[in-house]
Amino acid sequence: MRVRLGAVVCGVLAVLLQAAGAQAGPPLPEPRGLIPAAAGDACTPDTPYQAHIWDRLEPYGARCTRLHFAVGPLHIKPGQMDATLQPVAVEKPAYPGYVVRFKPGLVNADGSVPDIAQVHLHHAAWLQPSSYRYPFFAAGEEKTIIDLPAGYGMHVGTTDVWMLVYMIHNQTPEPRVVFLTYDVDYVADAEAEALGIVPVKPIWLDVQHRPIAPGAPDRFAYPVFNVQRGFGHVDPALGRRVCTWPRENCARFDSFGYVTPQQGAPVSVPGADREVTPDLAGTLVAMGGHLHPGGVRDEVSLVRTNVERPIYVSDAVPWSRTNPDEAGGPRTSWDFAMAVTNAALGWKVRIRPGDVLRINATYESDNASWYEDMGIVVGWVAPLDPHGDPGVDVFNDRVALDPGVPVTALIPAGSTSASCVPHLAGESRRLCLRGEVTHGHLAEASNFGGCTAGGCGALPAKPGPLVGDLVAAGFNYGAADILAVGAAGIPRLRVNQPMHFWNTDAAVDIWHTFTLCSETAGIGCTGKTGIAYPLADGARPTGDDPMDFDSTELGFGMSFSSARGQIPGVGFPADTLQQATSYTFTPSRTGTFQFFCRVHPAMRGVFEVVP
The domain spanning residue 470 has which CATH number? 2.60.40.420
Q: Is residue 455 part of a domain?
A: no
pLDDT above 80: residue 108: yes
Same domain, 176 and 238: no
Same domain, 114 and 45: yes
Counted domains in the chain: 3
Q: Contact 326/335 with Cβ under 8 angstroms? A: no
Helix (H) or strand (E) holding 54: helix 48-57
What distances in angstroms separate CA 367 from CA 191, 348, 537, one per listed residue?
Answer: 52, 36, 6
Q: Which among 80, 363, 366 is positioned nearest to 226, based on CA atoms?
A: 363
Same domain, 433 and 494: no
* Reported confidence tier of residue 37, pLDDT bands at 50, 70, 90: low
pLDDT above 70: residue 20: no
pLDDT at residue number 197: 96
Spatial separation of the C-alpha atoms in residues 120 and 376, rounded to whole Å: 19
Q: Is residue 480 part of a domain?
A: yes
Q: Is residue 453 part of a domain?
A: no
Same domain, 404 and 288: yes
Section 233-239 average pLDDT: 94
Q: Is residue 209 part of a domain?
A: yes
Helix (H) or strand (E) holding 20: helix 2-22
pLDDT at residue number 548: 86
Q: Which among 536, 516, 497 is positioned nearest to 592, based on CA atoms?
A: 516
* Reported confidence tier of residue 381, pLDDT bands at 50, 70, 90: very high
Kindly report, residue by residue over 118-171, the tens digit of the pLDDT.
Answer: 999 988 999 999 999 889 998 889 999 999 999 999 999 999 999 999 999 999
Same domain, 437 and 472: no
Spatial separation of the C-alpha atoms in residues 382 and 197, rounded to whole Å: 11
Q: Which residue has the higher pLDDT, 284 or 220?
A: 284
pLDDT at residue number 520: 67
* Reported confidence tier of residue 8, pLDDT bands at 50, 70, 90: very low
Same domain, 285 and 371: yes
* Reported confidence tier of residue 34, pLDDT bands at 50, 70, 90: low
Q: Strand runs (DSSP E) across 383-432, as ranges?
A: 399-402, 405-406, 418-420, 429-432
What distances in angstroms separate CA 331 from CA 144, 451, 456, 532, 573, one per listed residue?
Answer: 17, 18, 21, 9, 34
% of the chain exceeding 90 in pLDDT: 70
Q: Which among 348, 352, 430 is positioned nearest to 388, based on CA atoms?
A: 348
Sign of the alpha-carbon dihedral angle for 409, 411, 415, 421: positive
Q: Which residue has the higher pLDDT, 312 or 219?
A: 312
Same domain, 392 and 441: yes
Q: Contact 109/73 with Cβ under 8 angstroms? A: yes
Same domain, 282 and 312: yes
DSSP strand pairing (499-503 vs 469-472) = parallel
Section 43-67 average pLDDT: 84
pLDDT at residue number 32: 67
Section 18-35 average pLDDT: 60
Given 161, 195, 229, the domain boundary residue is 195
Kindly report, residue by residue over 427-461, the tens digit of the pLDDT.
Answer: 889 999 999 999 999 999 999 999 887 778 888 88
Q: Is residue 158 part of a domain?
A: yes
Sign of the alpha-carbon dihedral angle for 47, 48, 52, 58: positive
* Reported confidence tier of residue 12, pLDDT bands at 50, 70, 90: very low
Q: Which residue has the higher pLDDT, 84 or 1?
A: 84
Highest mean pLDDT pick, 15-29, 78-92, 102-116, 414-428? 102-116
Q: Which residue has the higher pLDDT, 110 or 221?
A: 110
Helix intervals (H) in 77-205: 189-195
Q: Contact 164/126 with Cβ under 8 angstroms? A: yes
Same domain, 438 and 469: no
Q: Is residue 9 part of a domain?
A: no
Radius of gyration of the chain (CA): 25
Spatial separation of the C-alpha atoms in residues 236 and 234, rounded to whole Å: 6
State the chain's mean pLDDT as an integer: 89
* Reported confidence tier of residue 570, pLDDT bands at 50, 70, 90: low
Spatial separation of the C-alpha atoms in residues 242 and 488, rounded to whole Å: 41
DSSP strand pairing (356-364 vs 240-245) = antiparallel
Same domain, 302 and 155: no
Q: Is residue 541 part of a domain?
A: yes
Q: Contact 96/155 with Cβ under 8 angstroms? A: yes
Domain that holds residue 142: 18-195
pLDDT above 50: residue 334: yes
Q: Contact 333/293 with Cβ under 8 angstroms? A: yes
Spatial separation of the C-alpha atoms in residues 12 and 21, rounded to whole Å: 14
Q: Contact 296/242 with Cβ under 8 angstroms? A: yes
Same domain, 324 and 248: yes
Q: What pTM, to 2 d.p., does this model score?
A: 0.92
Kindly report, residue by residue over 208-221, the tens digit of the pLDDT.
Answer: 999 999 989 888 77
Section 575-589 average pLDDT: 85
Kindly report, residue by residue over 385-412, the tens digit of the pLDDT.
Answer: 999 999 999 999 899 999 999 998 989 9
* Reported confidence tier of residue 547, pLDDT bands at 50, 70, 90: confident
Q: What is the 3-state secondary structure (H, E, C) of 159-192?
A: CCCEEEEEEEEECCCCCEEEEEEEEEEEEEHHHH
Spatial separation of the C-alpha atoms in residues 482 and 478, rounded to whole Å: 9
Same domain, 417 and 477: no
Can you tell me whether residue 194 is helix, strand or coil?
Answer: helix
